[in-house]
Structure 1
Amino acid sequence: MYTPTNRTVRMAMTLAGMSLCLAPAWCTAADRRPNVIVIMSDDQGSIDAGCYGATVIKTAATDALANQGVRFTQYYSAAPVCSPSRAGLLTGCYPWRVGMPGNGSGPPSEEHDNLATYTGSGLPVGGFTMPGMFQKAGYATAHIGKWHLGVGVGCQPLQQGFDYSFGFMGGCIDNYSHFNYWGGPNRHDLWENGERVHRPGEFFPDLMVEKAESFIDSHRDKPFFMYFAINVPHYPYQGDSKWIEYYNERQVPYPRNLYAAWVSTLDDRLAQLMKYLDDTGLRENTIVVYQADNGYSTEQRAHHGGGSSGKYRGAKFSIYEGGTRLPAIISWPGHLPAGEVRSQVAHGCDWLPTLAEICDVPVDSQAKLNGRSLLKVIQSADASTPHDAVCWQFQQQWAVRQGPWKLMRDPQTHDGTTAPALVDGHWFLANIDDDPSESTNLASSHPELVEKLKQVYQREAAQ
């Protein structure tokens, strides 16, 4: 998609004595391939931003990003849980195809101060990834925040296409001590370029912004790709005191008060990052993508809830809509539509081919992607979804969606609600256009559709 401006072409002709630029040109520092920042929030509910219908939670920066870009209303993550969702984003493939059907391993043990010889499984060694794609195209690449895609040699960020990495390797940390927030023994989990670093008492979301700004400052003269995987609003809920006080003063009930404070804390860091892009003059040449990885958590460590899926059934770990139907926004001022909404079906594997097309970055011809470019959808509300069907797997659950129809096998809600009974003990069929809340099981009245969608799933999941 990227094309040179007339001024760029004239300058190239004058300076190089050429009749035209022979490739999509970034012939001057001001006219080059766009920067890309992909922001992934963690355990954010389907409607937990103002632009998605939250009436209590304040998310001014997220709402501003939506006003500057395109907001999706039928965007689905690649999985209802952290690691496989991230794998789908970074590879453009269904997570089970790249060895990440479930969550990755925890952090390394305390006796390791570097990851150079650490063994373990995760993303395939030498596989095609979004950062690798950008790196090969000459971009500087950075991972900042949560990884959770394996810590063994070959699976680590620096071996998956990133030039720089700062963050934690496991699934969650205490944001001040940077120790793994799970069962014992507690393990410190903060790393920079594969080396253990200690920043005790410093708030991790602030460290993320600090490292992001430093990376941008060091690479402002060439295009950069940044994966900003902020660990919020994943537990532990450790929101800024001003936001805790704000929601308590408004008598927001527990645990939504704690969760809301955490989401607004995330939003403040988004505001800082966007302000830095504005202040450095880089915003108009930077594509920003924002998405959540899966639905809100009802785990004990998350106070059994606090987030919301709104009218959608399900939460984190669920293949009902609330587990995967999530906030997603893309913004590039002056280049992509602004303040618009898209209702077409989009999927977590789609960002890789979408960004490749927008930035005119080649995709490995050997890569068999499940994602499809959303560029036509982004450009026009009248464009069709690029998908005939999409599917999900998690543990014993699976789902496939084709058109308005969604078939699920052994779905679980994980939100405390009781869903309609499954037909033959396994099957739930819904028309999502008519029933986005998945309140009625149509499997018994449409047995032919059940059988058809089983075959669609088998075909789609094997691709």
Structure 2
Amino acid sequence: MNKKTSFLFFLLLISFAGKTYAQKNSTSKPNIIFFLVDDMGWQDSSVPFWDSTTTQNKKFQTPNMVQFATTAEKFTNAYSTPICTPSRVSLMTGMNAARHRVTNWTAYKNRSVDARDSLLAVPKWNVNGLSPKPQERSVVATPLAQVLEDNGYFTIQCGKAHFGAYGTIGANPLNLGFTKNIGGSAAGNPASYLAEDDFGWNPKHFNIKADIPNMKEYWGTKTFLTEDLAQSAMRELDTAQMLDKPFFLYMAHYAVHLPYNVDKRFIQKYIDEGYTKPEAAYCALVEGMDKSLGELLNYLKQHHLEKNTIVVFMSDNGGYSHAPREGKDNTQNYPLKGGKGSLYEGGIREPMMVRWPGVTTAGTVSKQYTIMEDFYPTLLEMAGIRHYKTIQRIDGESMVPYLKNPKAVNDKRVLVWNYPNDWTGGNWGEDNSFMTAIRKGDWKLIYFEKYGRLELYNIKDDIKEQNDLAKKYPQRVKELAKLLTKKLKEEGGQLPIIKATGKTVPYPDEIGNS
């Protein structure tokens, strides 16, 4: 065989191998990329998630989100919890926060992060987070990643984990069903996004925020954490292909959480537009996150994986709405009210998109309201995994009907939020501590536990939550308060404790105006 013939034979083999892989990949279990952003508000994108484009949408530049939206189904009523760890635990367990009781963010073992209030005390919530086996002050559950790994998936945790407190079992993602862990620990945000600063690591002084494992290769370089995580993730996708396994990539960026370090790749354009340096840095963080999304989507295209890879885009809680962000407190998520830490829409409504090749219709919009724990049964159903056992009871409901039919709406669905915690000690207003809420159909009831107040809103007519209708519709308040009380009792939802009496605050249906 001469050289020319050998070369042609080699090309034939490559072509045959490519076709064989494509054919095999089209019938195997789907790959899954769950792209989770930290602290990204509903409006922090050039993709509008409302019925019109806002000034906020025009502020940000997210071209890859825009492109992805043309290929995916957009959900305009997607919800999480108001704080990061509860959302992540709900995702990994399928449980509502009222049931799993990891109702605030976690830090160190057996230590509460709550501020102190003069009137109310925080209940004994699960400060240690998620655990796959019995551990004090933890929720014991079968993690989503474990079910996927048990069913043949190569499971990759990349970026922020924050499932458990430092010193506990759940702090290490490898204990929760992940095959690989890139950068995940008990850290809730990085000490620094700058690789030249070693991401804040100091051998003489431990800082939980700088505990970003398996990322030393980038130390001392001029790169940014967001881009480094994306590069590491794609290397692990290469590994999954070499092993001929379907992959589950949990791409959980630290961005766009504080600190707002300067990403030099993008910041100058926002400075030139007149934004303050912190706000320009925030905009650059968002754009850097968007670039990493584009890189992952390009990876799928280049490796002929698009047709067999599900891609989900989601945020873990509402946008941060205080200094150093530009503007007055709680205005950054307009038209939504409030921000991170609140049960107003600004604290819990999220940008969400799903692309499921062969199922979702490109460019469609679903108005069905969903919540973070719904992803557990949804992703397993999408993966074709129907027979699985869990330690925990699943509260989430499959979103598959709405993925197959974006016009379908179940307005009987009930969503519950429970935050019997104190995030800021009264700073920034009364709407970021001691709250519980319920949504059914277009109606939403919020119970301010410290003040014994119930507020009622029609979300469809009043997305800004400007008109409290509690006095106008007392019967509706009574019905929702009774239903919320029932759900809290069924799920074991905790309530704050009145310091003067040692008793818990009244349930919603025990409040005078209900």
TM-score over 0.5 for the alignment? yes
Query: Which amino acid in 1 is paired with 2:193?
Result: N
Residues 145-174 of structure 1, C-alpha deviation per residue, up to 9 Å, x if partnerless? 001111444312111111111114211111
Partner of residue 360, structure 2: 336
Do the aligned partners of 1:42 and 1:230 also contact (CA within 8 Å) in 2? Answer: yes
Specify the alignment match of 1:398 in structure 2.
436
1:6 alignment partner in structure 2: none
Alignment of 1:118-267 (within 5 A): 121-126=128-133, 127-150=141-164, 151-155=166-170, 156-169=172-185, 170-173=187-190, 174-176=192-194, 177-179=198-200, 186-187=207-208, 188-192=210-214, 197=216, 199-202=218-221, 203-220=224-241, 221-253=244-276, 255-267=278-290
Change (3 A) 1:380 1:257: same
Indicate conservation of the 8 Å contact 2:155/2:179, yes or no: yes
Q: 1:441 aligns with which of 468, 478, 495?
A: 468
Counterpart contact for 1:84–1:102, Cα < 8 Å: yes
**Residues 260 and 306 in structure 1, CA contact (< 8 A), matched pair in contact too:** no
The 1:96/1:199 distance shift into structure 2, 3 A limit, reads farther
**Which residue matches 1:382?**
407
Q: Is 1:289 matched up with 2:312?
A: yes
User: Match of 1:49?
Assistant: 45
**What is the rounded CA distance, in whole Å, between the counterparts of 1:404 and 1:93 in structure 2?**
23
Per-residue CA deviations over 1:87-134 (Å, capped at 9, x if unaligned) read 111211112422411101159xxxxxxxxxxxx922032412211121
Q: 1 CA distance for matches of 2:484 and 2:387? A: 26
1:264-275 correspondence to structure 2 within 5 Å: 264-275=287-298
Could you tell me whether the CA contact under 8 Å between 1:374 and 1:386 is conserved in 2?
no
Alpha-carbon separation, structure 1, partners of 2:357 and 2:406: 18
AA in 2 matched with 1:75: A
Distance in 2 between residues matched to 1:302 and 1:172, nearest whole Å: 17
Deviations 1:379-398 (A, max 9, x none): 21331238620011122111
Counterparts in 2 of 1:223 and 1:345: CA distance versus 1, 3 Å: same
Look at both structures and tell me which one has the larger radius of gyration over its CA atoms. 2
* Inter-partner Cα distance in structure 2 for 1:444 and 1:185: 53
2:359/2:404 contact within 8 Å kept = no
Greater CA deviation, 298-307 or 91-100? 298-307
1:341-380 alignment, distance < 5 Å: 341-362=365-386, 364-366=388-390, 367-380=392-405
Residues 227 and 288 in structure 2, CA contact (< 8 A), matched pair in contact too: no
Normalising by structure 1, report the TM-score: 0.82
Distance in 2 (CA, whole Å) between partners of 1:312 and 1:153 is 36
Shift of 1:401: 0.5
Letter in 1 for 2:183: G
Superposed CA offset, 1:186-219 (max 9, x none): 4531214xxx957423422122112211110011
- What residue is the counterpart of 1:58 in the other structure? 61
Shift in CA distance, 245/27, structure 1 to aligned 2, threshold 3 Å: closer
Is contact 2:313–2:352 with CA below 8 Å preserved after alignment? Answer: yes
Determine the C-alpha separation between the residues in 2 that align with 1:180 and 1:48.
Answer: 30
SS of match in other structure, 2:199:
coil
C-alpha contact (below 8 Å) 2:144/2:376 kept by paired residues: yes
* One-letter code aligned to 2:264: S
Cα root mean square deviation, aligned? 2.7
Distance (whole Å) between structure 2 residues aligned to residue 353 and residue 180 of structure 1: 38
Aligned-pair CA distance for 1:185: 6.4
Instruction: Using the TM superposition, name which of 333-342 and 302-311 deviates more.
Output: 302-311
What do residues 40-96 of structure 1 show as CA deviations (whole Å, max 9, x unaligned)?
Answer: 10111111111124012110111111111100101111x111111111112111124
Q: Which amino acid aligns with 1:175?
A: Y
Single out whichever of 280-289 and 300-309 deviates more from structure 2: 300-309
Equivalence for 2:486: 459
Contact 2:84–2:317 (Cα < 8 Å) also in 1: yes
Deviation at 1:364, TM superposition (A): 3.4
Q: Distance in 1 between matches of 2:288 and 2:262?
A: 6
SS of the equivalent of 1:275 reads helix
Identical columns (%): 29
Aligned to 1:4: none
The code of the aligned residue for 1:88 comes to S
CA–CA separation in structure 1 for the residues paired with 2:449 and 2:265: 39
CA contact (8 A) 1:239 1:265 kept: no
Q: Distance in 1 between matches of 2:305 and 2:441?
A: 39
Any gaps of 5 or more consecutive residues in structure 2? 1-21, 110-126, 134-140, 422-433, 492-514
Partner SS, residue 208 of structure 1: helix
Q: 2-side partners of 1:458 and 1:218: how far apart?
A: 49
* AA at the equivalent of 1:321: E
